[in-house]
Structure 1
Amino acid sequence: MKTDHHVILRVVAKPLIPIISLFALYVHFHGDYSPGGGFQAGVIIAVAVILYSLIFGITPAMKAVPPWFARSLSALGFIIFGAVGVWALMMGGNYLDYDALFNEEPGGHYGQHYGILFVELGVLFAVAGSMLSIFYAFAGRVTEIKDEDW
C-alpha cells in the first residue's frame, strides 16, 4: 500500500498556483506605475510552473507546459522586443524610441504607453520561457541520472 506523503502540499498548491500566476499579471501591468514589470512577472510565472513541477512531478509539468512551448515563448519574447525597436527605426526614430512609434511629438501619450507595454510583454515572454527552458534542461538531466543510476 503506497501512501502519498505530499497530500498537504498538493492541496495547498492547487489553489495557490493560479493565485501566483494572477499576481504575475498584476506585477506586469502595474510595472509602469510601481516596482515590477516584465522581468519580475516572467520570473513569477516561471516560479508557478516550477512549483507545480516540484509538487506534482516534472512529467505532469512538461505535459501542462511542454518544453517546445517554453522555447517558443522565449523566442517570441525576443522577437516582440526587437520588433518594437525596428518599428521605431522604420518610423524614423532611434531604436526603442517610443515617441516615433506613432509619429508623435516628444512626450506623446500613445507611443510611450503602447511601446512600454509591448516591450514589457516581450520581456515577460522571454524571461518566463528562458527560465522554464533552463529548469526543464536541468530537471531532465537529473531525471536521466536518477534513472540510470538506480
Structure 2
Amino acid sequence: MSPHIILRVVSKLLIPMIVIFGFYVQFHGDFGPGGGFQAGVIIAVAVILYALIFGIDEAKKAVPPKLVQWGSAAGVLLYAAVGLATLVMPFAGEAVNFLDYDALHPDQSHHAGQHYGILLVELGVLITVTSVMLAIFYAFAGRVPDIPDEEW
C-alpha cells in the first residue's frame, strides 16, 4: 500500500476540477476577468500537481514532452493564423488591419467576428502558455542535482 494514499485520492478528485476551472476561465474570458494566459497556467498546474503526486515519469506519460513541444509552436501559429486570416479576408471592400476581427464574420451589426477572433486568439494563448509552463517544469524536474542528498 502506498504511504501517500490520501494525497493520491484527493489529487484524483481535484485535478479534473482544476482543469474544468481552467476551461471556465478560458471561455469566460470574453465576458469577465480571465483568458488564455490565466487558463493556461491553471491547466499546467493540474499537470504539475499530477507530477508532484504520481511522479514525473507518469506525468510525461500523460502529457508527453513531444506534445508539449508541438503545443508551444501550435499555439503561436494559431495566434498568427488568425491575424493573417484577418488580413486576407475582405471587410466591406476595404483594407483591414492585422487582428481586425470584424473581417472574420460577415455579420457586422452584431460584431460576431470579434467573438470568434478573440476566442481563437485566446485558444492559441492557452495552448502556448500551458505548453511552455510544462516545458519549463519538465526541464527543471528532470535535471540531476549537482549535490548528492547525503551532502546536504
TM exceeding 0.5: yes
Partner of 2:34: 36
Specify which of 87, 101, 105 is matched with residue 98 of structure 1. Answer: 101
Matches for 1:62-77 after TM superposition, within 5 Å: 62-77=60-75
Alignment correspondent of 1:134: 136
TM-score normalized with structure 1 length: 0.89
Task: Report which stretch shifted further, 25-34 or 92-101.
Answer: 92-101
Question: What are the ranges of 5 or more consecutive residues in structure 1 without an aligned counterpart?
Answer: none
Quick check: 1:99–1:108 contact (8 Å CA) kept in 2? no
SS at match of 1:137: helix
How many Å separate the matches in 2 of 1:54 and 1:60?
10
**TM-score, L = length of structure 2:** 0.87
Structure 2 stretches lacking a partner, 5+ long: 90-94
3-state SS of the aligned residue for 2:145?
helix
User: C-alpha separation between the residues in 2 aligned to 1:109 and 1:100?
Assistant: 9
Q: Work out the CA distance in 2 between the residues paired with 1:47 and 1:62.
A: 14
Equivalent residue, structure 1, for 2:48: 50
Question: C-alpha separation between the residues in 2 aligned to 1:94 and 1:17?
Answer: 41
RMSD: 1.8
Question: What's the CA shift for 1:104?
Answer: 5.5
For these two proteins, the number of residue pairs brought into alignment is 144
Distance 2:38 2:18 in 1: 12
Percentage of pairs with the same residue: 60
User: If each structure's helix is expressed as a fraction of its own residues, which one has the higher value?
Assistant: 1
Q: What is the Cα deviation at residue 15 of structure 1? A: 1.0
In 1, the alpha carbon distance for the partners of 2:116 and 2:105 equals 10
| Alignment partner, residue 19 of structure 1 | 17
Shift of the alpha carbon at 1:103? Answer: 5.1
Aligned equivalents of 1:102, 1:27: Cα separation in 2: 24
SS at match of 2:140: helix
